[in-house]
Amino acid sequence: MAQVSIKDNEVDVVIGVLHADMTSFMEEWRPVFSRFHLIIIKDPDLKDELRIPEGFNLHVYTKSDIERVVRPSSASLLLSGYSCRYFGYLVSQKKYIISIDDDCIPARDSDGNLVDVVTQHVTNLTTPATPFFFNTLYDPYRKGADFVRGYPFSLRSGVTCALSCGLWLNLADYDAPTQALKPGQRNSRYVDAVLTVPAKVMMPVSGINIGFDREMVGPALLPALRLAREGNLRWETVEDIWCGMCLKVVCDHLRLGVKSGLPYVWRKERGDAIESLQKEWEGVKLMEEVVPFFQSVRLSRAAVTAEDCVVEIAEAVKQRLGPLDPVFARAAQAMVDWVKLWKVVRTQSPPSVA
């Protein structure tokens, strides 16, 4: 890992909490998280009181905070389940956000060392990305690596990286059909690499383990596509996949980079994929429309901020996908509402929201 100087106060770790007893989660993460400020968002549907061990610098937000800040907006309906974390992105004041699902614990690398997800995500975000030409030796900025022969020198300075997508050991992020078909499959391959996902290439961004530059692209991480029967298991959701494709389009348009690979988290087992199958098919069907849309959407030169970009994408969603399924029209409206909300919160004085 390249050496980066992280100012700890430039990072918020945002955890959306779907399981009230956070004891084991927090203890497992203590070596990594104790240096940073944590934003804990309690799923508004979660009734039990949170159990959080002592010794962390954190702020907990609950249903009443969400309602106070978000009430005038349709977004409050969208902030349950995994999507409650978006509220944390909204109220954070930091440059970088790292977000990890609450059913993950730290992974170990090939040498058995605990993976510090925060440092790796921040390393990914603070070293350049290279979206305009593929480097076969992966991340050229990593210690011991470089640009290979034939890589144009004019592209070697790279661009700012805005999104870092981590991976998963043990239970990988498969959809319900795949998980149901291969219930015993576990991911044990630690691939020691980070790469820039090239410009104009679409990808399924998983929300399980990500880091991003909130100041650059924060408003593009938003709750928008909510399935009618979305549940509290990852394979029952596509909200993060939608958000990730929106974000990739924004990054491509603004000439920002997206990386994928390290860091890994260890994902614990839970849930029964076969029970989820019926719910998931809706998401599976939608992806057949969603992917070609995001592969072809193009933004105008007038879009120069993430907010601008989201509004343009929302308009295209409304026009091109809206007629296909009401879920898309709702997503388009939610995107517009979220950008408005983001602007309102940004113009308020910090103490009123955080």
List interacting residues with a copy of itself (CB under 8 A). 110, 133-138, 144-155, 165, 167, 172-175, 178, 182, 185-193, 195, 197-198, 200-206, 234-235, 238, 241, 244, 260, 284, 287-288, 291
Measured between alpha carbons, how far is 322 from 324 in angstroms, rounded to an integer? 5
Minimum distance between the CB of residue 151 and a copy of itself, rounded to whole angstroms? 6
The CA distances from residue 149 to 129, 153, 314, in Å, are: 18, 10, 41
Q: Which is nearer to a copy of itself, 148 or 324 (CB)?
A: 148
Task: Dig out the tokens for 78 from the structure.
Answer: 């969208």
Q: Which is nearer to a copy of itself, 27 or 146 (CB)?
A: 146
Q: Which is nearer to a copy of itself, 36 or 86 (CB)?
A: 86
Minimum distance between the CB of residue 49 and a copy of itself, rounded to whole angstroms? 31
Q: Which is nearer to a copy of itself, 112 or 144 (CB)?
A: 144
SS3 51: strand
Check if the beta carbon of residue 210 is closer than 8 Å to that of residue 164: yes
Measured between alpha carbons, how far is 201 from 37 in angstroms, rounded to an integer? 34
Using CA atoms in the order 114, 117, 123, 129, what is the torsion angle rounded to 10 degrees? Answer: 120
Minimum distance between the CB of residue 257 and a copy of itself, rounded to whole angstroms? 14
Q: Which is nearer to a copy of itself, 11 or 241 (CB)?
A: 241
Minimum distance between the CB of residue 300 and a copy of itself, rounded to whole angstroms? 21
Q: Which is nearer to a copy of itself, 152 or 351 (CB)?
A: 152
Measured between alpha carbons, how far is 35 from 191 in angstroms, rounded to an integer? 27
* Buried-state track 157-172, b at ≥16 Cβ within 10 A, e below 16: ebbbbbbbbbbbbbbb
Minimum distance between the CB of residue 189 and a copy of itself, rounded to whole angstroms? 6
Minimum distance between the CB of residue 305 and a copy of itself, rounded to whole angstroms? 26
Minimum distance between the CB of residue 235 and a copy of itself, rounded to whole angstroms? 6
Tokens 């429309």 label which residue?
289
CB atoms within 10 A of CB 120: 22
Q: Which is nearer to a copy of itself, 62 or 206 (CB)?
A: 206
Query: Cα-flanking dihedrals φ and ψ of residue 258, to 5°?
Result: -130, 130
Measured between alpha carbons, how far is 14 from 207 in angstroms, rounded to an integer? 12
Q: Which is nearer to a copy of itself, 52 or 258 (CB)?
A: 258
Minimum distance between the CB of residue 315 and a copy of itself, rounded to whole angstroms? 23
Measured between alpha carbons, how far is 246 from 307 in angstroms, rounded to an integer? 11
Minimum distance between the CB of residue 70 and a copy of itself, rounded to whole angstroms? 26
The CA distances from residue 330 to 12, 86, 110, in Å, are: 30, 17, 44
SS3 242: helix
> Cα 46 from chain centroid?
21
Check if the beta carbon of residue 118 is closer than 8 Å to that of residue 33: yes
Q: Which is nearer to a copy of itself, 149 or 301 (CB)?
A: 149
